Amino acid sequence: MKAKLSYERGTITIKGDVHIPFATYDSRSDCLRAMAFKYRDILRYLDKSRVDYVDGVMNLIPCPFFEAEIELREYQQQAAERWLMDKKGCIVLPTGSGKTYVALEIIEELSVPTLIVVPTLDLVDQWKEELSIFGEEWIGEFSGREKELKPITVSTYDSAYINAELLGNKFMLLIFDEVHHLPSESYKQIAEMSAAPYRLGLTATYEREDNLHSLLPELVGGKIFELRPEDLAGKHLARYIVKRIYLPLTEEERKRYETKARIFKEYIRRKGLTLRSIEDFHKVVMATGYDTRAYEALKAWDEARKIALNSRNKLIKLRELLENHRENKIIIFTRHNDLVYKISRLFLIPPITHRTLKDERQTILEGFKKGIFKAIVSSQVLDEGIDVPDANIGIIMSGSGSAREFIQRLGRILRPSKDKNEAILYELVSRETGEVQTSRRRHASKRSP
């Protein structure tokens, strides 16, 4: 009797007298059952074991043969060829280096039903525009604003997660843009509940601070190709330098900072805690739910941090940099919206935050591209997922210790252009504050393998 494979609500069921190491027995259905992402392994095991089976898993969207003229740089071709060897794995390339073109080459090569999962609606629009080279009639969108499944469908992580069971057997190729989002507790179900045998992850920053990237080899495939900004600088990306500028707090700021920082340090000392990682800090955050002293300590830490982030000398230095680079295109990065709007008011620079409406944001970016605006200021909105017109000066007013954030901000000024000789990323750091260690952390993690 042949084994029979079926797809059922994000799982693969196997009926018949057969043993499969990737599946467990389901007594209610009297069959073996495995998560759908094990489909490829199950087929390989059955073929290797010479087991006869009927495969009823996939219900694919009809797909044409895709043709387009795609010109790849040498490293992009190498990345695509490396992925095609096993049709699984993550490609890590800097922002602005053309990860999308690698995906286009793979889509054309395979010409199978393809689901592309992206973090934002802005990226949905950008991908659809790039994919139009295959013919707009073949491109669908599955998001909160539209739900149309076509041979190549672009979805947000949120919509793909909510509809994971529906999408799970419709596509042969899964592409996860900004794949570092995938290992979260909810989003990983997109990969787990899909039977798609071919999987591609794209990102500029593979590692996560919580180490959940360790899940990616099983969900998508491990890191199979990687280049860093310094590998492409000068040839395919702009040459760049990073300048860290340490600035003292004013006397009044320093006194307020030390008072607030002392409250936090004293709490840590009394509790016998050592802050070596994010997990250690989260212990303090969790304690605020039942310990008023923890709440007061965390509040003091936050106030001290804001003093360092918003120091008067940073704004003075910013004015100087804007004067020195008045002929350049400048992106100013901050961590919080209040500083965005403060800088916008002081220097008459257009702000972009999550509150900025889409039409307004497009107007600002278009004005920046045309040179109507020489500078824009943003919080974390521009860190990921939005194509920013050519800029060659970046100024980090504040940020986290994340290497990902740093690399993404650097990538915003690395896109090559005719007028760009060298890009400069300035990092303004308040001296003798926690910002010094934060800056060291992002640079240390950026250099780690």
The whole-angstrom separation of Cα 117 and Cα 346 is 39
For residue 69, is it within any domain? no
The letter for the amino acid at 297 is A
Instruction: Name the E strands within 289-444.
Output: 330-333, 351-352, 375-378, 393-396, 422-430
Decide: 88 and 353 in contact? Cβ < 8 Å: no
Q: Are both 148 and 199 inside the same structural domain?
A: yes
Indicate if 123 and 187 belong to the same structural domain.
Answer: yes
Question: Rounded to whole angstroms, what are the CA distances from 211 to 67, 90, 218?
Answer: 39, 16, 14
Pick the last residue of a domain from 163, 193, 227.
227
Q: Tell me, yes or no, whether 351 and 279 share the same domain.
A: no
- Each residue's pLDDT expressed in tens, for the chain with a length of 449 residues: 689 999 999 999 999 989 999 899 999 999 999 999 999 999 999 999 999 999 999 999 999 999 998 999 999 999 999 999 999 999 999 888 889 999 999 999 999 999 999 999 989 999 999 999 999 999 999 999 999 999 999 999 999 999 999 999 999 999 999 999 999 989 999 999 999 999 999 998 898 878 899 999 999 999 999 998 888 887 888 888 999 999 999 999 999 999 999 998 888 888 777 766 666 677 777 777 787 888 888 899 889 988 998 899 999 999 999 999 998 999 999 988 899 999 999 999 999 988 888 889 889 989 998 889 999 999 877 666 566 767 889 999 987 667 777 887 888 787 766 555 688 999 999 998 888 887 777 666 444 43
What is the spatial distance between Cα 413 and Cα 19, in angstroms, rounded to a whole number?
55
| CATH code, domain carrying 115 | 3.40.50.300
- Considering only CA atoms, which of 213, 228, 222, 224 is closest in space to residue 94? 228
The whole-angstrom separation of Cα 80 and Cα 67 is 16
Q: 34 and 21: one domain?
A: yes
Question: How many structural domains are present in the chain?
Answer: 4
**How many beta carbons lie within 10 A of that of residue 71, not counting itself?**
8
416 with 95: CB under 8 angstroms? no
CA distance linking residue 124 with residue 337, whole number of Å: 25
Residue 199 located in a structural domain: yes
19 and 143 co-located in one domain: no
Neighbours of 270 (CB within 10 A): 10
- Kindly state whether residues 244 and 255 are assigned to the same domain: no
Beta strand pairing call for 31-35 and 24-26: antiparallel
Q: Alpha-carbon distance 316 to 294, whole Å?
A: 35
- 307 token code pair: 């003093």
In our burial notation (b when 16+ CB lie closer than 10 A, e otherwise), range 210-224 reads eeebebbeebbbebb
Q: What is the pLDDT at residue 314?
A: 95
Is 233 contained in some domain? no
pLDDT number for residue 197:
97
Q: What pLDDT score was predicted for residue 448? A: 42
Closest CA to 238 of 96, 369, 421: 421
Assigned domain for 292 exists = yes
Range(s) of the domain holding residue 48: 3-56
Is the same domain home to 150 and 125?
yes
Does 293 lie in the same domain as 179?
A: no
Among candidate residues 70, 65, 62, 61, the one with its CA nearest the CA of residue 133: 70
Same domain? For 85 and 215 the reply is yes
**What does the alpha-carbon distance between residue 317 and residue 121 come to, in Å, rounded to a whole number?**
36
436 lies in the same domain as 321: yes
**Residue 157 and residue 87 share a domain:** yes
Q: Is residue 67 part of a domain?
A: no
**Does one domain contain both 219 and 316?**
no
In a domain, 381, yes or no: yes
